Amino acid sequence: MNNKKSGFVTIIGRPNVGKSTLMNHLIGQKIAIMSDKPQTTRNRIQTILTNDLGQIVFIDTPGIHVPMTKLGEFMNTSAETTLNEVDVVLWLIEPDKKIGKGDRYIIERLARVETPVFLVINKMDTIAKNELLEVIATYKDQYNFKDIIPISALKGDNTDILLDQIFDVLEDGPMYFPEDMITDQPERQICAELIREKVLLNMEQEIPHGIAVVIDQMKEREDQAIVDIDATIVCEKDSHKGMVIGKQGSMLKKIGSMARRDMENLLGSKVNLKIWVRVKKDWRDSDYLLKNYGYTN
């Protein structure tokens, strides 16, 4: 019998570098929501990849950044604690030739970490090869990286090489999850995130960061292949509520039908989705409400 390898891998990096895109690509399904807005991912999400070599459990951490609110603090703590608990750290960056303040912040944090760190330069599809070499040169003396690997998470370039490298570092270990399991996220949570993703996609910057989504009820009808889902979008301001609903309900309708389509793919059945919009001022600074909306360390 050949031994299997296993371990935990976390993907860190500034908002928008493509962490969720990479994870979804590696496991071949959309679990972590993606958008072009920073701070799309709020919770730790575990996804599981099982192949002939063994099993990797990926932890998609919220981006590390300077905290502004309690929600921000939660996101930082959750990302930093992870670094010392895992077997491999992937630091994802965009192909910038100069090291920014956010990157310095991450390098400082990595100095206290003993876990092997791969520098993964994502979005290689957006630059020329000679420029890529410059990026590598800029970063290689900043830290004792296990290796530097350019990839495109969007196109899937070099992601097989990245996987091989990760398995090289991992040791023989148990299969933590059944081999057909790809996430530890409850379906409810994914559905809530899908709605939040559609708000992020369709609305201006200011509003999406002040919203939370709660699934109030999710029930499969006994006699038919239909799932009834009731959800609430929680906003910080009355004016935001108006914008989420839109003229004659047009925005909410758009958000709802896009989210419903993704939910039907996820659940493999028809979905009857109803969304309500409520205002809860300052929910981002209330411990009680944060907990209520699922943000707990």
Question: Which residues contribute to the annotated binding site?
Answer: 13-20, 60-64, 122-125
Name which position in 6, 115, 152, 158 contacts ligand GDP (CB under 6 A). 152
CB atoms within 10 A of CB 243: 19
| Nearest residue (CB) to ligand GDP, 27 versus 229 | 27
Residue 102 in the binding site for ligand GDP (CB under 6 A): no
Residue 127 in the binding site for ligand GDP (CB under 6 A): no
Name which position in 10, 21, 24, 40 contacts K ion (CB under 5 A). 40
Q: Helix 187-202 to helix 250-267 angle, to the nearest 10 degrees?
A: 140
* Distance in angstroms (rounded) separating the CA atoms of residues 91 and 110: 10
Helix/strand/coil percentages in the chain, nearest 5: 40, 25, 35
| Nearest residue (CB) to ligand GDP, 199 versus 289 | 199
Residue 196 in the binding site for ligand GDP (CB under 6 A): no
| Nearest residue (CB) to Mg ion, 21 versus 55 | 21
Two tokens, residue 142: 């900043």
| Nearest residue (CB) to Mg ion, 36 versus 52 | 36
Residue 185 in the binding site for Mg ion (CB under 5 A): no
| Nearest residue (CB) to K ion, 181 versus 258 | 258
Numbered residues of the known binding site for GTP: 13-20, 60-64, 122-125
Residue 78 in the binding site for Mg ion (CB under 5 A): no
Identify the CA nearest to 66 among candidates 31, 101, 33, 91. Answer: 101
Residue 41 in the binding site for Mg ion (CB under 5 A): yes
Give 38-94 as a DSSP string: TT---S-EEEEEEETTEEEEEEEPPPP----SHHHHHHHHHHHHHHHHSSEEEEEE-
Alpha helices, DSSP H only, in the chain? 19-27, 70-85, 101-110, 129-140, 159-169, 187-202, 238-245, 250-267, 287-292
Residue 102 in the binding site for K ion (CB under 5 A): no
Name which position in 3, 81, 126, 265 contacts ligand GDP (CB under 6 A). 126
**Site residues, ligand GDP (CB under 6 A):** 13, 15-21, 34-36, 40-41, 122-123, 125-126, 152-154
The footprint of Mg ion (CB under 5 A) covers: 19-20, 40-41
